[in-house]
Amino acid sequence: MITDTLVSIVTPAYNASRFVGETIRSVQAQTHVNWEMIVVDDCSSDDTRSIVEKLSREDARVRLIVQPRNAGPSAARDTALQAARGRFIAFLDSDDLWLARKLELQLRFMREVGAAISFTWFRRFPEGGGECGRLIPIPDRLTYRQLLRNTAMATSTVLIDRHATGPIRMREIPCDDYALWLDIVGRGFVAHGLQEDLIRYRVVSRSFSRNKAKYAQKVWRTYLGMGLSTPHAAWCFINYAARAWLKYRRF
C-alpha cells in the first residue's frame, strides 16, 4: 500500500563506505521528516553494509536491503522501488548530498505546478570535499522530445509522484535512470525544473560516469534500447553531447 505523504528515497550502493554515511546524514537533516531511505547494497566488498546497518538501527527510517548477487545499479534501484511505500519517489546516489530543504521545497513546488516528475539545480564538489563548483542551470520544463536531447536531469535531483505516473520500474538498460525519465515523459507528462540550488553532486574520479567515452557509449546504447532509429538516435546524441560539453566544460 502506497502511503500518501511519504517520500521513498532510492539509493543503490556498491563499495560506498567512504561516502554513504554522509549521504544518509544529509537525508536525516531534511526539514521534511516523513521519508524512508532504502539503501540497496549491491554485494559491496567494503564496510558499506555495516555502516548502513548501524545507521538503520539508530533511525528506523533508514532501511537496508542486501542484494543476493552483484547486479548493478539498475537492479538495485528496481529492488528499492519494489520495496518503496511512499507516494513520492526520490533518487539519491550513495555519494551525493542533499541540502536540508530539498524535499520540503520540491514537494511544495510539485503540488503548486501539478508535476508528475521534477528536478532541480545542483552544484558539483570535489571527491574529498572543498569548495563547490558553479551552479548548473536547468530549463523550466522538458517534454519527451526535449529530454531526448538534454542532460539537465541529474539523478539525485529527481522526484516522482507515483499517484500521477502510476507504477514505475527500472529497465535493464544502460543509463537506466535517464531511460526512466524518458519513459515517464514519453507518456505525455512534462518534467518541471525547480529553480533552486538543492543538491551537491560529488565528482568521484574513479566513477564510471567520469569516463566520458564509456558514458557516451552508454547514452548511445540507451537511445537504441529505447527504440529510436539510428538516424534519430544520432541526432539526439549530437545534441546531448553538445549540451553535456557546455554543462561540464568548467567546474
Q: Which domains does the chain have, with CATH numbers?
A: 3-207 (3.90.550.10)
Beta strands in 15-149 (DSSP E): 35-41, 62-66, 86-91, 97-98, 117-126, 135-136, 141-142
Answer for the pair 24, 98: CB distance below 8 angstroms, yes or no: no
For residue range 63-104, list pLDDT tens digits in order: 999 999 999 999 999 999 999 999 999 999 999 999 999 999
Q: Are strands 117-126 and 191-203 parallel, antiparallel or unpaired?
A: parallel
Rounded to whole angstroms, the Cα distance separating 118 from 141 reads: 9
- pLDDT bracket for residue 208 (50, 70, 90): very low
- 145-157 burial code (b ≥16 CB/10 A, e <16): eebbbbbbbbbbb
pTM (global) more than 0.85: yes
Confidence check: pLDDT of 245 > 80: no
Average pLDDT, the chain: 92
Query: In the prediction, which pLDDT does 209 show?
Result: 46
Q: What is the dihedral of CA 20, 26, 29, 30, to 10 degrees?
A: -120
Average pLDDT of 133-147?
94
pLDDT tier at 10, thresholds 50, 70, 90 = very high
- Average pLDDT of the segment spanning 181-189: 97
Is the pLDDT assigned to residue 161 strictly greater than 70?
yes
Q: Look at strands 86-91 and 159-161 and give their pairing.
A: antiparallel
The predicted pLDDT at position 192 comes to: 98
Nearest of 105, 82, 78 to residue 12 by alpha carbon: 78
Using the predicted structure, report yes or no on whether residue 212 has a pLDDT greater than 80: no
Find the largest Cα–Cα distance for the chain: 53
The answer, yes or no, to whether residue 49 has pLDDT greater than 60, is yes
Does pLDDT of 45 surpass 80?
yes
Which of the four pLDDT bands, split at 50, 70 and 90, describes residue 3? low
Confidence of residue 177 (pLDDT cuts 50, 70, 90): very high
- At 211, the pLDDT band (50, 70, 90 cuts) reads low
Residue 152 C-alpha cell reads as 539537465
